[in-house]
Structure 1
Amino acid sequence: MKRGKGMKFVGDSRVSAEHISRIPKDYSEYPGRTEAFWPNFLLKEWLAGSVFLVGFLCLTLAHPSPLEGVADPTTPGYIPLPDWYFLFLYELLKYTFAGGDYVIMGVIVLPGLAFGALFLAPFLDNGPGRRPHQRPVAVGMMLLALSAVIWLTYESASHVNWAERAEANKPIPPGATVDIDESDPGYDVYKQSCMACHGEDLSGSAAAPPLIGSGHTAEELADIAVNGIGSMPADQFKGTDEELEQLVNFILSLDEEE
């Protein structure tokens, strides 16, 4: 037997004598299970992102965002709404256990628990499987969160008349002028009930749309004055039926000058 045969020498006893290759195996050893990041996987990701981006841009061009009027903190009765992606949190505050005296639950506690659970989901279910049935905890928590967000968003949006809200808060058309007969008895009623929001010349303001050429009939104007519309609350008009008729006739008698 030769000297040293079968013996292995290392410079440090903490270093393993067995050599482990750090070169990954060839992709051909995993048929159908993996692929090269460049260019195969990256090209697929780029194509998917491009299709989504083009579709999103086409949607924004076909259906622009329904913007309202200029923000005015003095607008009476205006109910602000968050953007659509926060409507589920807005709806949550309508429930007894998350609003009123328990608003801290709806603002901090419940959202914190929900997002914290999603953050911990990968650590609570860290099995090696990638199929949904192999990850019951993580998949179940994600489906529960997704269902809650969709339902709360739907419930919140279904109670808002978006067309009426946009109409009531549309920007004021420039250049509209009228000849106002201050001796008209309806003008005195207008000053008491409507001038604060609709302006001295009925051209509107940031708080309310113009009354010049509104296109409403006498019955519609009377109903709006009593029951409100959009951001305009009900019972703004406090006069009698006779004064209401005078107000409606005054508004309809105005002539718009180009």
Structure 2
Amino acid sequence: MHRGKGMKFVGDSRVLALSERKPNIPKDYSEYPGKTEAFWPNFLLKEWMVGAVFLVGILCLTIAHPAPLERIADPTDTGYIPLPDWYFLFLYQLLKYTFASGPYTVIGAMVIPGLTFGGLLLAPFLDRGPERRAIRRPFATGFMLLAIAATVFLTWQSVATHDWKKAEAQGKIVAKVDIDKNNEGYKVFKDQGCINCHGENLQGGAGAPSLIGTGLKAEEIAKIAKSGKGNMPPGIFKGNDDQLKKLTEFISGLGE
């Protein structure tokens, strides 16, 4: 084909026509009126608005109900009942079951969560249908509903079965007091082995309560030392009456 002076256009069959569409190039969103929208600004603006609503709601909750503080963590307190944040309660509850605890902890901590979250990640690749309605995507919808139901159930079970009163008592902040370690009562406290459970500063630990600010009288403390109470069995104190008097007067005077 000749056009102009000295110009020649040669057709090449190896060059695809512009009207032809490659199979791996998706159609433009404008070809689906009413079923899709532009990412910017339509879709992204909606996402920002929803995110802002939830963010403001969470901020209001944190102001109205601030997170309670507990006493400083004590690694020697083996009787303390730990509780993770609310978004990990379902995993915390899962580790309480026989098939996911003890020798099977790896199954509860890694295998089951790994399969669950892995399935959620693979769901879009396994169900690649063009439908956007949840009822017409049974695999993705069913898997998501099952995951949500399991998470809600395990979270509820964790909250319902947790010993909140005991945890509150263990995590209670105790006022610090100066301990006179040269006091005769403290020496008895140390010699009788009370320090092993109640701690060097009488702050409690290993399932034993704090002895600071108990509000008990010396006679009441002496009775507990002989007869025991709670996790403390009777007969722990092996000293004489004079030592018991020094110990109980020392403890009753703490935190006053």
Instruction: Name the TM-score, length of structure 2 as normaliser.
Output: 0.69
Structure-2 residue corresponding to 1:69: 71
Structure-2 residue corresponding to 1:109: 111
Structure-2 residue corresponding to 1:172: 174
Structure-1 residue corresponding to 2:15: 15
Contact 1:170–1:209 under 8 Å retained in 2: no
Range 94-103 or range 11-20, more displaced: 11-20
2:90 is aligned, of 50, 65, 88, to: 88
Taking a change above 3 Å as real, the CA distance of residues 254 and 180 of structure 1, as seen in their structure-2 partners, is farther
CA distance in 1, matches of 2:103, 2:201: 44
1:99 aligns with 2:101: yes
CA distance in 2, matches of 1:240, 1:73: 24
Taking a change above 3 Å as real, the CA distance of residues 254 and 160 of structure 1, as seen in their structure-2 partners, is same
Structure-2 residue corresponding to 1:51: 53
CA distance in 1, matches of 2:10, 2:209: 87
Query: How far off is 1:167 after superposition?
Result: 3.2
Taking a change above 3 Å as real, the CA distance of residues 179 and 241 of structure 1, as seen in their structure-2 partners, is closer
CA distance in 2, matches of 1:36, 1:211: 66
SS in structure 2 at match of 1:226:
coil
Instruction: Name the TM-score, length of structure 1 as normaliser.
Output: 0.68
SS in structure 2 at match of 1:123:
helix
1:239 aligns with 2:241: no
1:226 aligns with 2:191: no
CA distance in 1, matches of 2:167, 2:123: 40
Unmatched segments (≥5 aa) in structure 2: 1-8
CA distance in 2, matches of 1:90, 1:144: 19
Q: How many residues align?
A: 234
1:168-194 deviations in whole A, cap 9, x for unaligned? Answer: 22333234568997469xx84786364
Structure-2 residue corresponding to 1:148: 150
1:183-224 deviations in whole A, cap 9, x for unaligned? Answer: 69xx8478636433445664x2677764332357959x95xx
CA distance in 2, matches of 1:90, 1:48: 30
Query: How far off is 1:131 after superposition?
Result: 0.8
1:103-150 deviations in whole A, cap 9, x for unaligned? Answer: 332233222222222222222222111111111011111111111111
1:58-87 deviations in whole A, cap 9, x for unaligned? Answer: 212222223433223222323433333222
CA distance in 2, matches of 1:160, 1:25: 51
Taking a change above 3 Å as real, the CA distance of residues 84 and 10 of structure 1, as seen in their structure-2 partners, is farther
Contact 1:180–1:201 under 8 Å retained in 2: no
Computed over aligned residues only, the root mean square deviation of the Cα atoms, in angstroms, reads 4.2
**Structure 1 segment 113-192 matched on structure 2, within 5 A:** 113-175=115-177, 182=184, 188=188, 192=192
CA distance in 1, matches of 2:56, 2:10: 60
CA distance in 1, matches of 2:216, 2:47: 53
Contact 2:179–2:201 under 8 Å retained in 1: yes
**Structure 1 segment 198-217 matched on structure 2, within 5 A:** 198-199=198-199, 202=202, 204=203, 210-215=210-215
Q: Percent identity?
A: 49
